[in-house]
Structure 1
Amino acid sequence: MTMIRLPAITALVLGLCVAPAFAQESPDALVKRVAEDVLTTIRSDKDIQAGDIAKIRQVMEVKLVPNFDFVRMTALAMGRNWRTATPEQQKQLTDDFRTLLVRTYAGALSNYRDNTMDYKPLRMNPADTEVVVRTEVKRSGQAPVQIDYSMEKTPEGWKAYDVVVAGVSLVTTYRDEFNDTVKSSGVDGLMKALTNKNRGPAPPPPVK
C-alpha cells in the first residue's frame, strides 16, 4: 500500500464534510465553508480534543459520509476486479470500505486544530460535471502540502470520490492490497478481510 503523509488524513475529513443542504454551491465554495466550520468545531469541542472517537465518528457519519460517492471510490480501489463482483458483492464491498475509511481516519480529526488551509482558484467551465478543488495545508514550521479533491456533480449535488495528497491518490493506496487479496482469495476473500478489519481495532492510517 502506498503511504500518504499526515495531514492528508485530516484534510480528507475537513475538506469533504459537505452538507447536502448547500448542494447548489460551487464545489470550491462548499469545501471552504464546511472546512472552516469543522475547524471551528474541533477547536472548541473538548470531547473531540480529548480524543472521543465515538463523537468524531458521529460527526463524520453526519457531515462527511453522505457527500462521498463510495460506490465510485470502491470501484477505483478495486480496479478491474470491481467488474467481476456481483451487484450484491459490490454493495457489501462499498459498505465495508466506507466503514473502514471512517474508522481509519476518525482519530486524526482532533489533531487538526493548529493547521490552516488555503483554497486555490477553481478552474471550472459551466458545463463541467467533474472538477478538482485544490487546497494547501499549512503547518507551523513545516512545508505546506497540496491536497486536491476530485469531485463530481450528481443529481444530489457535488460529491467527492477521491483525495490526492502531494500527487498520491488516497483511494488507490488501497488498490494493491485489494488486488492481492482478490488474487489469492477471490472477491469473497476481500469481503471477509474487510469485515474482519472492521471488527477489530481501528487500523492505523496509511501515513509516513
Structure 2
Amino acid sequence: MFSSLPPASTASLKLVICFSGKRKSGKDYLCKKLASKLEDQGLRTEIRGVSFPLKEEYVRLHQEKLDIEKLKSDSDYKEKYRKDMADFGERIRNQDSGYFCRKTMEYVSPKTQVVLISDCRRPTDIAYFRKHYQTFTIRIHCPVDMRKKRGFMFTPGIDDAETECALDEFQSWDTVLSNEEKEDQLEERLEKLLTDVINRIKS
C-alpha cells in the first residue's frame, strides 16, 4: 500500500528523475553528470536511492559492523551483501511496495528542487514516484560486453532476479539513454537530456 501523501519536507520539489538500468550500465555515473548540469542551471539538486534506506535498515537490524557508505557505493564490498540485502528488501516490499521509496524521500532537504533517484528497479517504484510527484523517467541501455569491461559478471540469484529484471519489459520511459558511446557523443546526449528535463520542470 502506498502512503496517501508525499513527505511534507518536499515542498520546494519541482521534479523527481527516476534512473533505471542493469548493473554496471552507468546509472550512478550518468546520474551524477546530470545532477552537476542541473546545479549549473541554478537548481538545488539531490541524489537519492531507493536502496539507501534499505541498506540503512539492513545495517541497523543486523547489528553488524558494516560500513553504510561502502554499501551505498558501487564496490566489491556491496557485492558481498547484495543477495542477502535483496532478500531482506523483498520481505519488506511484499508488505508495503512503496516503503523504501517513501523512506528515501523523507531525507530530502526541504530546499531541494530536483531529486534524482539513481536505482529504480520495479514498476512499483515508478508507480510510487509518478503517483506523488512530477517525474521524468530514464532507462540506461548498455550492452553486456561493455558492462563486463566495467566489472560485470553474471551472478545467479541476482542478475536473473526481480531486482534486476522487473523493468526489462517496461516501455513507458520518458527517454532511453545509451551509455556506450565515446565521451563527446555521450555529452551531446546529456545536453539534450538536460533540455528535456528543464522543459518538464517548466511544464
TM-score, reference length from structure 2? 0.30
State the structure with bigger RCO (CA 8 A, min sep 6), 1 or 2: 2
TM-score, reference length from structure 1? 0.29
Structure with higher helix content:
1
